[in-house]
Structure 1
Amino acid sequence: MPEAEQPQGPHVPVLLAEVLAAVSPGPHVRILDGTFGAGGYSRAFLEAGAHVIALDRDPSVLPHVEALVGDFPDRFIFVPGTFSALDVLAQPHAPIDAVVLDIGVSSMQLDEADRGFSFMREGPLDMRMSREGPSAADLVNQLDAEPLANLLYAYGEERKSRRIAQFIVAARADAPIETTVQLARIIEKAIGRKPGDAHPATRSFQALRIAVNAEFDQLVEGLFAAERLLDEGGRLAVVSFHSLEDRIVKRFFDPAKGGPAQSRHLPQAEIRPLPWTSVAKAVKAGPEELARNPRSRSAVLRCGTRSDAPARPLTYEGLGVPRIGSAA
């Protein structure tokens, strides 16, 4: 969603009532919160009586962790790490009854100018959730025009990616691009801005953030890790915030959505038991939540229940994961 519409202040967990209904927290229920953030979901699960194991790779979440450790010392455990490895990280605390993933950047991260996620705030062009590895500034200043354009197109669906990349390369020839506002102004100069439209840098910033944090790889690996971790009857709830993520989650739960149509004239492929049952229809925020929390506008919740079928080997096939090829 356009950053100008993002709420200020602490992160507000979206679709909270719907997530609670999906995972049914209560006494003796063990929930893995794979994307802890500011702890909104974890606190709600704990207040409902559940035991919570929380993961996050962002060291800035520690004050929120300490608050929940103080309030729920016997039922809350925090494990630093990425949700792509959630099965390994959570195994010492198994069995787990439900896994919850809230994908993407939080309002808390957007509000911290020094993290570099937001083009609405002056800050270093960083975007690293773990504060490790190459930053957005490294990509912007080091990639040649063609691979940069391909990245913006594949991960941000930016149709004017070639022009933006050309303007970036021209600008950095004079001086490195080091801040969020610098980059946002270059993009606005490249493609202009119409009154009432989202900021022209929206898609490019999304693409850079996804690339810096390997978000699509993290998502795919996390989904299959949850499939390995959960026993029959376990529940997985995933909240995503843009169409590229939602497509991956949708096809993960229902592989037939991403597979090629099978001709009735050919021998029929073997039908394998599906690892997920009771896959609910996508849920979006209602009018009341939209009014009090604009961030929920783009949120989509999908959830399913683990069957007794064996976990599948990790594969990207059929998931519609964007790959960097050539820009339009």
Structure 2
Amino acid sequence: MVEEVLESLDVKPGGFYVDGTAGGGGHSAAILDASAPDGRVLAIDRDPGALATVRERLAESAGERLELIQANYSEAARIVAERGERADGWLVDAGVSSYQLDEPSRGFSFQQAGPLDMRMGNDAPTLAEYLDEVSQEELARVIKVYGELRGSWGLAGAIKAALGRGELKDTLDLAELVASKQRHSKRKIHPATLVFQALRIAVNRELEHLEAAVRQIPEVVKPGGRGVFMSFHSLEDRIVKHTFRELADPCDCPRDFPRCMCAKQPLVEVLTRQSVVASDDEVQANPRARSARLRAVRVLDSPSSHDVS
């Protein structure tokens, strides 16, 4: 969704933009091109491998216009504060990247054997460490809430028992165990899909970092600038949508008050009444784009009132 991202960010020559999820560098490259000749990009990623990829791909051509930093995007407010300059736009492309999914050694895929890892960066435990330490009760909650699956208690117990017996050597072992416990599922997707999603979210604390990042938009982006967040499943999109709404309408007065008494002013204007989705052509070229949802806000420079749907 490169064109949609550039339009939502309102990229202009000479602007300063933060790419909170550098990934393979595609969005950073597009922003650098659109902001030429003197626009700048600060690209952040918690994955050192992603930064190495972007450095190899873009550093020589971009020169001093590109800065790379290893960090979680939930640290963006601190990073820009240390530089003393807020951005004209901030992009976060949440979730796991394609190159992470496609690399078996990262442990995200249930279609190829890989280690029980799933870390997006070195700031998280491996999946093996997580499963060893987590209680059955908490694991069941994670599968139920993050995977939106029934029967989570029994599945959590089976995973813990198999791990204790040394039967979970790799991702294929885990996927086969999940499939054996989900034989009667009527879902069209592989039985392990949502369980792997849930475990990945838990290991990397993705939803906590995402909500923290959305709340930082007024600290990261200057007045008039844009915050653009892309999500890839309903849990992420719900957080983005609801937190955008809170920033746009922060009043916490009781609903039966005749007028606002808390004097809290809107911090952003929501620009996307409905989420922006990928075009049919893009989905055909890249099937993973089918689940992408883009939402955008503009940071306000003066107190105002906005009707947010």
TM-score over 0.5 for the pair: yes
1:70 equivalenced with 2:63 (yes/no): no
Report the residue type matching 1:56 in the other structure.
D
1:194 deviates by: 5.8
1:45 equivalenced with 2:45 (yes/no): no
Aligned partners of 1:210, 1:171: CA distance in 2, in Å? 21
Q: Does the 8 A contact of 1:140 with 1:177 survive in 2?
A: no
Q: Name the counterpart of 1:153.
A: 144
Secondary structure, aligned partner of 1:239: strand
**Inter-CA distance 260–305: structure 2 relative to 1 (3 Å threshold):** closer
Report the residue type matching 2:12 in the other structure.
G
Aligned residues: 295
Q: Name the counterpart of 1:295.
A: 288
1:87 deviates by: 1.7
Q: Where in structure 2 are the equivalents of 1:261-280 lying within 5 Å?
A: 263-264=255-256, 266=257, 268-270=259-261, 272-280=264-272
**Inter-CA distance 93–123: structure 2 relative to 1 (3 Å threshold):** farther
1:104 equivalenced with 2:95 (yes/no): yes
1:103 deviates by: 0.1
1:143 maps to which of 115, 130, 134: 134
2:183 maps to which of 178, 182, 192: 192
Aligned partners of 1:142, 1:76: CA distance in 2, in Å? 40
Q: Name the counterpart of 2:49.
A: 60
Secondary structure, aligned partner of 1:52: strand
Shifted more, 55-64 versus 142-151: the winner is: 142-151
Identity %: 37
Secondary structure, aligned partner of 2:117: coil
Secondary structure, aligned partner of 1:234: strand
Aligned partners of 2:109, 2:184: CA distance in 1, in Å? 17
1:143 deviates by: 2.6
1:251 equivalenced with 2:256 (yes/no): no
Q: Does the 8 A contact of 1:69 with 1:76 survive in 2?
A: yes
Over aligned residue pairs, what C-alpha RMSD do you find? 2.3
1:307 deviates by: 0.5
2:10 maps to which of 18, 24, 29: 24
Aligned partners of 2:5, 2:184: CA distance in 1, in Å? 37
Report the residue type matching 2:269 in the other structure.
T
Aligned partners of 1:269, 1:155: CA distance in 2, in Å? 36
Aligned partners of 2:186, 2:250: CA distance in 1, in Å? 37
**Inter-CA distance 104–219: structure 2 relative to 1 (3 Å threshold):** same
Secondary structure, aligned partner of 1:288: helix
Shifted more, 33-42 versus 144-153: the winner is: 144-153
Shifted more, 237-246 versus 18-27: the winner is: 18-27
Q: Name the counterpart of 2:76.
A: 86
Q: Does the 8 A contact of 1:242 with 1:299 survive in 2?
A: yes
Report the residue type matching 2:46 in the other structure.
R
1:183 maps to which of 167, 174, 185: 174
1:76 deviates by: 1.0
1:139 deviates by: 2.4
Aligned partners of 1:102, 1:278: CA distance in 2, in Å? 18
Secondary structure, aligned partner of 1:25: coil
Secondary structure, aligned partner of 2:145: helix
Secondary structure, aligned partner of 1:121: coil
Structure 2 stretches of 5 or more lacking a match? 304-309
Q: Does the 8 A contact of 2:251 with 2:265 survive in 1?
A: no
Aligned partners of 1:246, 1:290: CA distance in 2, in Å? 19
Aligned partners of 1:73, 1:112: CA distance in 2, in Å? 29
Q: Does the 8 A contact of 2:25 with 2:53 survive in 1?
A: no
1:190 deviates by: 0.7
Report the residue type matching 1:103 in the other structure.
A
**Inter-CA distance 194–30: structure 2 relative to 1 (3 Å threshold):** same
Q: Does the 8 A contact of 2:250 with 2:266 survive in 1?
A: no
Q: Does the 8 A contact of 2:88 with 2:226 survive in 1?
A: yes
**Inter-CA distance 133–22: structure 2 relative to 1 (3 Å threshold):** closer
1:207 deviates by: 1.0
Provide the TM-score with structure 2 as the length reference.
0.88
1:278 deviates by: 4.4
